[in-house]
Amino acid sequence: MNLFDYKRPSSIADAVAAGAEPGAAYLAGGTNLLDLMKVGARKPDVLVDISRLPGLGEIETLQDGSVRIGALVRNSDLARDAGFAKAYPAVAEALLSGASAQLRNAATVGGNLMQQTRCLYFYDQQSRCNRRQPGAGCDAIGGETGKHAVLGWTKQCIATHPSDFCVALAALDASVELQGPDGARSVSLEEFYTLPTEDTPGGADVRPGELVTALTLPADAAHFAGHARYIKLRDRTSYAFAIVSAAAMADISDGVVQDIRIAMGGVAARPWRARAAEAALKSKAPTPELISAAAEAALADASPSGDNAYKIELAKRLVHRAIEQALAGTPQTIPALPGSVFAAQAAGR
């Protein structure tokens, strides 16, 4: 690990001022940043410890019914907040399917949002990586690409965003609140992650010094509580990143899908909203044929970026299953194995 200076400002304004200095990085739980620093993938000159900043640790329901989650709320505290988990069960399930209990206890929601890709070549200092060093090239292409993107990639970067949480958030039209040296702004979570272009590698759209202060879920996000699932496929049953994952949430009345949200993880540099799949089911009485058509539509634009064509079929089947499970109704309690396709389907129902 490189030598660095350490600061612990006591106000958001001081933190933003310190964070805007060249070479500064915010430290929250540290579960991603320290990992990257240990392998030299990040070499900040100053760590600005935000973990004790006041006012960023609350989960609040606002007047208009939207919910605001402070950036320092711990992943485990959000998932275990009974009111939150009841209103947004797929978000809780996504959180609990991520990492391990120890990591979720340390990890903050802001850090989860801002975590870096797990692309092996991004981690490996001997490899060329456009994300680490713009213009360097991408050694992932032609290498070990089994876990890389199948949607929205270019030759600049084929990495995926690893978060489970963000997939469920994208389905619910969450937005990100930021505070920077030039003031505050709010941006949709989906847009917050820019996709690679022909000459830029993409990544989280944070400007120098910008601090994520909160996440908000709009009032209509609570309409999906009765029919919401998040499922993820991993190399092992627990404590592993998603190969692919899917969130499906429906608002159903009189047997008709009034509104539906579908998003995928592990497939792109952002949590991927499958709007064509949503359109296939919206305002319809769901049938097996319609669900299959929706799953096909979700991956219609996909193409392998290497040895990962299998992911396209896998994602299709996972979307299919997530829709079926969502339509069957949210389980009474979160399954013993959150997000697992191996959890008994009827678990806790």
Partner 1 sequence: MTRSLTLTINGTKHDIELEDARPTLLDVLRERVGLTGTKKGCDRGQCGACTVLVDGRRINSCLALAMSHDGAEITTIEGVADGETLHPVQAAFIENDGFQCGYCTPGQIMSAIGLFSENGTANDPEQLREGMSGNICRCAAYAGITEALLDAQTRLSGKE
Ligand X SMILES: Cc1cc2nc3c(=O)[nH]c(=O)nc-3n(C[C@H](O)[C@H](O)[C@H](O)COP(=O)(O)OP(=O)(O)OC[C@H]3O[C@@H](n4cnc5c(N)ncnc54)[C@H](O)[C@@H]3O)c2cc1C
Binding site for ligand X (CB under 6 A): 25-33, 35, 50, 71, 98-99, 103, 106-108, 110-112, 114-115, 162-165, 211-212, 241
What are the two backbone dihedrals, phi and then psi, of residue 47, each rounded to the nearest 5 degrees? Answer: -100, 125
Give the one entry of ligand X, partner 1, ligand SF4, none that residue 80 binds, where binding means its C-beta sits below a cut-off of 5 to 8 angstroms depending on kind: partner 1
Choices 81-89, 123-131, 184-192, 244-252 (CB under 6 A): range interacting with ligand SF4: 123-131
CB of 275 to partner 1, least distance (A): 33
Please, which residue, 32 or 154, has the CB nearer to ligand X? Answer: 32
Q: In DSSP terms, which residues pair with 297 in a beta bridge?
A: none
Long-range contacts of residues 340-348, Cβ cutoff 8 Å, at least 24 apart: 340/97, 340/231, 340/232, 340/237, 340/238, 341/231, 341/232, 341/233, 342/237
* Residue 100 lies near partner 1 (rule: CB under 8 A): yes
Question: Which listed residue (11, 13, 34, 144) binds partner 1 by CB under 8 A?
Answer: 34
> Among the candidate windows 24-32, 100-108, 129-137, 295-303, which touches ligand SF4 by CB under 6 A?
129-137
Q: Does 157 bind ligand SF4 (CB under 6 A)?
A: yes
What the block records as the tokens of 258 is 């009034």
Nearest-approach distance from CB 69 to partner 1, in angstroms: 19
Question: How far from each other are the two terminal CA atoms of the chain, in whole angstroms?
Answer: 48
To ligand SF4, the closest distance from the beta carbon of 42 in angstroms equals: 13
Element (H, E) at 24: strand 24-27
Among 75, 117, 245, 340, binds ligand SF4 (CB under 6 A): 117
Structure tokens at 31: 């579960």
From ligand SF4, ligand X, partner 1, none, which one binds at residue 337 (CB under 5 to 8 Å depending on kind)? partner 1
- The per-residue b/e assignment along 18-53, b for 16 or more CB within 10 angstroms, e otherwise, is bbbeeebbbbbbbbbbeebbeeebbebebbbbbbeb
Query: Among partner 1, ligand SF4, ligand X, none, what does residue 224 contact (CB within 5–8 Å per kind)?
Result: none
Report DSSP state, residue 255. T
Interaction between residue 238 and partner 1 (CB under 8 A) = yes
Q: How many angstroms separate the CA atoms of 306 and 144, rounded?
A: 8
Q: Which of 110, 201, 265, 339 binds ligand SF4 (CB under 6 A)?
A: 201
| Helix or strand run (H / E) with residue 212 | strand 211-217
The answer to whether the beta carbons of residues 56 and 297 sit under 8 Å apart is no
Residue with CB nearest ligand X? 111
What residue 102 binds from partner 1, ligand SF4, ligand X, none (CB within 5 to 8 A, per partner kind)? partner 1
Cβ(187)–Cβ(210) below 8 Å: no
Q: Could you give the CA distance from residue 291 to residue 278 in angstroms, rounded to a whole number?
A: 10
Q: Of partner 1, ligand SF4, ligand X, none, which one does residue 89 interact with (CB within 5 to 8 Å by kind)?
A: none
- Is residue 268 close enough to count as binding ligand SF4 by CB under 6 A? no
CA distances from 160 to 118, 119, 271, 349 (A): 8, 7, 9, 33
Asked whether position 306 contacts ligand SF4 by CB under 6 A, the answer is: no
Residues that bind ligand SF4 (CB under 6 A): 117, 119, 121-122, 129-131, 138-140, 157-159, 201
